[in-house]
Amino acid sequence: MLRTLIISAVSGAALTFSAATFAQQGQFGTPQEARAMLDKAVVAVKADQPVALAMFLKGEGGFRDRDLYPFCFRSGDGKALASPPSVLAGTDIRTLKDATGNVYGQELYAAAQTPEGQITEVSYMFVRPGADAKPVPKVSFVTRVGELGCGVGYYK
């Protein structure tokens, strides 16, 4: 009887904590969560680049959280390798422009030319996944990882 009571109390506390955590997380990712995902993505790319890129594209291993996801491109030619939405795969990121005409792809590319480990913030307008087609302000944290540029962005 006592064991059942303890299990029930612990289960109830866990459910309450989970609901509270979910409520605190909110509907959208935060700058801190985007930065943490980028740090995790860098570790994954350094450990096994092909596996990491596949995970990014599929959103596996915690690499898709609400509107947060990592993207990577080759720092040499700017070719997008892992870039949800997948319509960007193979695109030269240097050519990307937002709805205001800002050629933010050049800024993403320039961020990948900095020393490895340096984080650059790039601001632009982009459509939030699962939302209507109206672009909203977005900031991406971008860094160089070997011969790749990788980033994770959050929506303001």
- Residue 77 belongs to a domain with what CATH number? 3.30.450.20
pLDDT along the chain (156 residues), means of 10: 33 35 68 98 98 94 95 95 76 94 96 97 90 89 97 96
pLDDT at 6: 30
Structure tokens at 3: 């064991």
Residue 2 lies in a domain: no
Residue 5 lies in a domain: no
Integer angstrom CA distances of residue 22 from 1, 9, 16, 80: 32, 20, 10, 32
Task: Specify which residues 74 forms β-bridges with.
Answer: 148
Give the domain extent around 140.
26-155
pLDDT at 133: 81
pLDDT at 3: 33
Residue 148 lies in a domain: yes
Residue 102 lies in a domain: yes
Q: Which of 127, 143, 151, 128 is nearest to 71 (CA)?
A: 151
Residue 4 lies in a domain: no
Domain count, the chain: 1
pLDDT at 25: 57
Residue 18 lies in a domain: no
Residue 9 DSSP SS3:
helix
Which residues are CB-neighbours of 33 under 8 A, at least 6 positions away? 25, 65, 68, 154
